[in-house]
Amino acid sequence: MLSYRHAFHAGNHADVLKHSLLVAMLRHLNGKEKPWWYVDSHAGAGIYDLNADFARKNAEFESGIGRLWVRADLPEAVADYVALVRDLNPDGRLRLYPGSPWLASRLMRTGDQLRLFELHSTDVQLLRRTFSENRLIKAEATDGFLGLKSVLPPQPRRGLVLIDPSYEIKDDYRRVVAALKDSLVRFATGTYAVWYPLLQRPEPAQLVDKLKRLPVDSWLHASLSVRAPAADGFGMHGSGLFIVNPPWQLAATLKTLMPWLVEALGQDAGAGHVLEHVDA
């Protein structure tokens, strides 16, 4: 797990899905004056250089944010997210990509706070450097699954928690469910977003099944496949988000957004999406 660097994957199709929905959920929190906390279990480095060797190795961003960069027909939710990425690239050239913490920092207001956890020694230093001048953003070199216990419930009793490990270790699937169960005991009214990869192995589907069985009143599940699974069984062909206590209008937004993402990011006839939800 400590060897994982999100820089290899920054700006790919999974980031487009995750970050579009993240921005939409934070905008919803901003609809009320009461402060909120954003908590990120696996925060990464904060900002990624798309010209660096890590990002250029597979150039995954070219089939993700790169496809959206030149389009003029972006749906509102995607346009909002892309506008924030453009803020990081004011000359119009796509060179830097923001991680989830940076996007959250751009939407936070006076009184809102960020709590970030990252175990990779290099990435946590980059994260701290990025936010060194903001005392309301705290980054800790801590196992995010354990870190959640230290910050929940947040003081304002409003917040969004993103749980998105790399899943390079199979035990991450079990720990996600355990962490979410514990977090809901501590902060039952919070919004939780669990990201996961679509792979040709049973664990992702089993994870979603377990999350659906949690004793919660409302949830939303959205997944995006950009291609058919590879013949050799390797590689991520899509990703998904399972959201507990989602904003009430998010499902309606995704009814049109998900088909658009399939069209915009799909790589072959195997592209598609799943959208399902249970309301309180």
Report the largest interatomic distance among the alpha carbons of the chain, rounded to a whole angstrom. 51
Question: Residue with structure tokens 């250089």?
Answer: 49
| Active-site residue (options: 15, 112, 164, 172) | 164
C-beta of residue 78 within 8 angstroms of C-beta of residue 260: yes
Q: Exposure pattern of 223-242 as b/e (b: 16+ CB <10 Å)?
A: bbbbbebeeeeeebbbbbbb
Phi then psi for residue 122, to 5 deg, are -75, -45
Phi then psi for residue 41, to 5 deg, are -75, -30
Strand partners, 159: 37
Cβ count within 10 A of residue 133 = 7
- 112 is annotated as an active-site residue: no
Residue 7: partners with Cβ closer than 8 Å, 6 or more residues away: 45, 48, 49, 52, 54, 55
E strand or H helix at 196: strand 191-198
Q: Which residues are catalytic?
A: 164
